[in-house]
Amino acid sequence: MAGIAPHWNEFETRDALAASLADVVAEVLRTAISRRGEAFLAVSGGSTPGRFFAALSREELDWGKVTVTLVDERFVPETSSRSNASLAKANLLQNAASAARFAPLFHEATTVEDGAHLADSALKTLPWPLDAAILGMGGDGHTASFFPDAQSLDVLLDPASTRIVMPVHAQTAGEPRLTLTLPALVNAGLVVIHIEGAEKRNVIEAALAAEEPLPIRTVIDRAPRAAEIYWAP
Ligand SMILES: O=C1O[C@H](COP(=O)(O)O)[C@@H](O)[C@H](O)[C@H]1O
- Of 94, 80, 69, 63, the residue nearest 165 (C-alpha): 69
Verify whether ligand 1 is closer than 6 Å to residue 45 (CB atom).
yes
CB burial of residue 197 (10 Å; 0-12, 13-18, 19+):
middle
List Cα–Cα distances, 72 to 56, 135, 164, in angstroms.
Answer: 19, 9, 11
pLDDT value at position 63? 98
- d(Cα 178, Cα 70) in Å, to the nearest integer? 10
Give the pLDDT confidence of 90-108 residue by residue, as tens digits.
999 999 999 999 999 999 9
Give the pLDDT confidence of 48-70 residue by residue, as tens digits.
999 999 999 999 999 999 999 99
Q: Binning pLDDT at 50, 70 and 90, where does residue 1 land? A: low
In the DSSP assignment, the letter for residue 4 is P
Q: What is the mean pLDDT of residues 109-118?
A: 98
- d(Cα 5, Cα 107) in Å, to the nearest integer? 36
Q: Binning pLDDT at 50, 70 and 90, where does residue 213 land? A: confident
Least confident of 74-88, 97-111, 120-134, 204-218: 204-218
* Alpha carbon of 73 to ligand 1 centroid (Å): 9
Verify whether ligand 1 is closer than 6 Å to residue 174 (CB atom).
no
The ipTM estimated for the assembled molecules is 0.97
- Of 116, 117, 108, 223, the residue nearest 179 (C-alpha): 116
- d(Cα 167, Cα 173) in Å, to the nearest integer? 12
In this structure, are residues 141 and 203 in contact, taking their beta carbons and an 8 Å threshold?
Answer: yes
- Of 27, 20, 123, the residue nearest 72 (C-alpha): 123
**Atom of ligand 1 minimally distant from the CA of 49:** 10
- d(Cα 195, Cα 163) in Å, to the nearest integer? 27
Q: What is the mean pLDDT of residues 142-158?
A: 97
Verify whether ligand 1 is closer than 6 Å to residue 86 (CB atom).
no
pLDDT at 210 over 90: no
